[in-house]
Amino acid sequence: MNIKGCIFVICAAVMWGLIGPISKFPIAQGVAPLENAFWRAIFAWMLFAVHACRIRAVRIDLKDLPHIIGFGLVGVTIFYGSYQLAVQDVGAALASVLLYTAPAWVAFMSWLLLGEKMTPIKISAMLITICGVACVSLGPHIFSTGTEITFTWPGIIFGLTSGFTYALYYIYGKTIFTRYTTPTIFLYALPIGALCLLPFFEFTPKTETSWASLIALAVICTYGAYSVYYAGLKWLEPTAAAVIATIEPVIAAILAWLWWNESFDWTGYLGSALIISAVLMIVMEKRIVSFFVSGNAFSRTKETV
Alpha carbon distance 194, 12 (integer Å) = 23
Establish if 290 belongs to a structural domain.
no
Predicted local distance difference test score (pLDDT) of residue 92: 92
Q: Say if 293 falls within a structural domain.
A: no
pLDDT at 305: 47
User: pTM higher than 0.85 for the full model?
Assistant: yes
Q: Which helix (H) or strand (E) holds 28?
A: helix 19-28
How would you classify residue 91: left for phi > 0, otherwise alpha for psi between -120 and 50, otherwise beta? left
> Distance of CA 141 to CAs 18, 85, 300, Å?
21, 18, 50
pLDDT of residue 295: 52
- Domain assignment of residue 204, given as a range: 3-280
- Is residue 10 a part of any domain in this protein? yes
298: in domain: no
Instruction: Confirm whether 110 is domain-assigned.
Output: yes
| Model pLDDT, residue 301 | 44
pLDDT tens-place values along the chain, 305 residues long: 578 888 999 999 999 999 999 999 999 999 999 999 999 999 999 999 999 999 999 999 999 999 999 999 999 999 999 999 999 998 898 899 999 898 888 888 878 877 778 888 888 888 998 898 888 877 655 555 455 555 678 899 999 999 999 988 877 777 777 788 889 999 999 999 999 999 999 999 999 999 999 999 999 999 999 999 888 888 877 767 777 888 899 899 889 989 998 887 788 888 889 988 988 887 777 766 665 555 554 444 444 44
**Assigned domain for 229 exists:** yes
Q: How many domains does the chain have?
A: 1
Hey, which bits of 145-233 come out as E strands? 147-150
Q: Let me know how long the chain is.
A: 305
Is residue 251 in some structural domain?
yes
What CA–CA distance (Å, rounded) separates 14 from 245? 8
The answer as to whether 285 is a domain residue is: no
pLDDT of residue 217: 97
